[in-house]
Chains A and B, each alone.
Chain A
Amino acid sequence: MTKSEDLIKKYKENSEYTHGFVTDIETIEVPKGLSEQTIKFISKQKQEPEWMLAWRLKAYERLKKMKEPNWQKPKYPKIDYQDLYYYSAPKSLKDQPKSLDEIDPEIRKTYEKLGIPLEEQKRLSGVAVDAVFDSVSVATTFKDELKKIGVIFCSISEAIKEHPELVKKYLGSVIPLTDHYFATLNSAVFTDGSFVYIPPGVRCPMELSTYFRINASNTGQFERTLIIADKGSYVSYLEGCTAPMRDENQLHAANVELVALDDAEIKYSTVQNWYPGDKEGNGGIYNFVTKRGACRGKNSKISWTQVETGSAITWKYPSCILQGDNSQGEFYSVAITNNYQKADTGTKMIHLGKNTKSKIISKGISAGNADNTYRGLVSIHPKAKGAKNFTQCDSLLVGNKCGAHTIPYIENKNSTSDIEHEATTSKISDDQLFYCRQRGLNQEEAVSLIVNGFCKEVLQQLPMEFAVEAQKLVGISLEGSVG
């Protein structure tokens, strides 16, 4: 928070001068490409302590020996890592759009359909306005309230400086430095993200959302989030936004780590609507995210809910490691692909403790020329006596040029376990559309209604206000997919 407040303060102070503040930023030289120098530069820009830089460099050393995975279904052109920028300085104010008139009319149309207020539209599309100041005051009010009950909610950069003992203890404890190419890349070059700590016995009284952490706006392509729920605590965290987000970076490789101690519960909800590319499949974001939660304590619970509608390629498996006895993992997912979008998503439920339970509900919707894959692993280890899993994977096809695939892996090493798997594939039929239209709904309303019915079980898991927006988003994402 302090960083952005500083920025705003500086901006206010300098705005009377012609270029004071702006020039300042433009003179920062950002090294291009992936190197030790780049990592040192990032660490220095963020005024990180020595141990953090050492950790990053260790990840980088490891990365040099690693290869990008290539077993996923969606293929993409080779990424030149030496051609990327790994640190983006705050955008200079004169580069920002001056008003909403400069924003892509398609995006504005979507804002309107989602019913997003004007000020909010400006914030989302990066228009430089006073709205930022409103957000600051809202955010500050929230922060004060959280502080009273001991909740820490700040940027990860701030946490590295202010709460090093927590960061040192938990960062990389769920997704190790050695994990896989993109996760390790993130560990070396992550720029910012959220940090949450809920102290023992505290039930966080409000949904925590990146929305209220305004300095999230420039976290860039390598976001890092760490959430710790101490014994007997509860937190619900919301990430993302239903409105389409503007972003120039093509590759997004975020890492999210969750840790739930004894009797703690974390509910993590995502709505992802990054730019999916145009109707012919040009451009769009590669969303290669590693999300993993450890139910480290007994009776702990982690629940992932995701609504994935954006990005050219979505490749992610929010997972749960069920270490504590009686711990529970849940994964609720809606993945919508339209036009030439591709998704390869699912979850891993690793049962280590006794009587651990997991539940997977996945709804994949494919339209246009898109391809949608559910890939999941349920693994019951020898000591996971009495473990239970229930998996349901449903695919819905819209039109006849799209694809749906279900690839469930089950590894069972304990005979007392109970594993159920159900899968269905269906299609929106012409008869269903005709019936709806005969009752006065237009084509798009009909598709939206049918698809919302199809993924109701997942949308119900979202916090109330989010759920309403997500329902609209489901309809909008499939516009033009029929007829």
Chain B
Amino acid sequence: MIEIKNLKTSIEDKKILNGLNLKINKGEVHAIMGPNGSGKSTLSYALSGKEGYDVSGEILFKKKNLLDLNTEERAQSGMFLAFQYPIEIPGVFTNNFLRTSLNSIRKAKNQKELNAIDFLKLLKEKAKSLQINQEMLSRPLNVGFSGGEKKRNEILQMALIEPEFVIMDETDSGLDIDALKIVSNGVNALRNSDRSFLIITHYQRLLNYIKPDFVHVLSNGKIVESGDWKLALELENDGYGKYLN
């Protein structure tokens, strides 16, 4: 699905990622854990194409050079980033945004755009499984949403778009235990042999619900250790101390 080779990023001369290598195959779920400031969020931005970063190295996404594509082209070719802090857009109704987004992606894939009626039907079905009510969808995008509502809204968008590769940036932060279960169920429902996930988190907690195939430790902009999900348990007990200088 995606292969990252010697990825280096910096912002305003400050080096963040220092030669990161990672390969994720179809259907795999990888978790990246690491202390604050290790470059986890930067990795998600570098992959999704946020402007303002100097990026070098090579990223092959579905055999294409990802660095040649801009943000929307990456999204249209199947990459989805669930934001740590979903952005508020006043005046733009959530359901309208979701439809515009889905149709932009469908259009790029040469699929038929959904009309309002078909879209609402689909939206209702997806929203129900995430326990999202209609009232929330007719509010402006993320404006006045609780932390839990914002995260569920991210997962709802993921469920609508059905991307092939999902990056989840600290989706568990700010969630209570009930919301965490709802979100995890939403993610697990989308797991299949064609879809890959990269889950960025501080805590092992989320990984109890979404069991990863691999766990990596990111420190000082590099992956310093990899293992299976038991590595997450060790980290929970021992902390990140041994990876820090």
Contacts and interface: CB of A to CB of B under 8 A. Distances in A.
B48 interface: yes
Contacts, number: 74
A435 B87 CA distance: 7
Interface string B84-105: 0011011111000100111011
A82 interface: no
Contact of A454 (B48, B86, B90, B100): B90
Given A440-B76, A454-B90, A434 B101 contact: no
Interface in A198-233: none
A453 B92 contact: yes
B101 A439 contact: yes
B51 A435 contact: no
Chain A CB within 10 Å, residue with most, of B51, B75, B89: B89
B23 interface: no
A470 to B, nearest CB: 15
A61 interface: no
Contacts of B2: none
B67 to A, nearest CB: 16
Contacts of A456: 91
A437 B87 contact: no
B43 to A, nearest CB: 15
Nearest to B157: A439
A437 B89 contact: no
Interface residues of A, number: 23
A51 B157 CA distance: 68
Interface in A399-451: 426, 429-432, 434-443, 445, 449-450
Given A434-B51, A439-B101, A449 B71 contact: no
Contacts of B80: 438
Nearest to A442: B72
A426 to B, nearest CB: 8
Contacts of A442: 72, 104
B100 A437 contact: no
Contact of A441 (B48, B90, B100): B100
Contacts of B203: none
Interface string A442-472: 1101000110111110000000000000000
A453 B93 CA distance: 8
B81 interface: yes
A431 B85 CA distance: 10
Contacts of B87: 429, 431-432, 434-435
Contacts of B132: none
A449 B72 contact: no
Nearest to B91: A453
A294 B70 CA distance: 54
Contact of B75 (A437, A443, A450, A452): A437
6 contacts: A435-B87, A436-B101, A437-B49, A438-B80, A439-B75, A453-B91
Given A430-B51, A456-B91, 14 more contacts: A434-B71, A435-B83, A436-B89, A438-B75, A438-B80, A439-B75, A440-B76, A440-B102, A441-B104, A449-B92, A449-B97, A450-B89, A452-B91, A453-B92
Interface of B: 48-52, 70-72, 75-76, 80-81, 83, 86-87, 89-93, 97, 100-102, 104-105, 108, 140, 157, 161
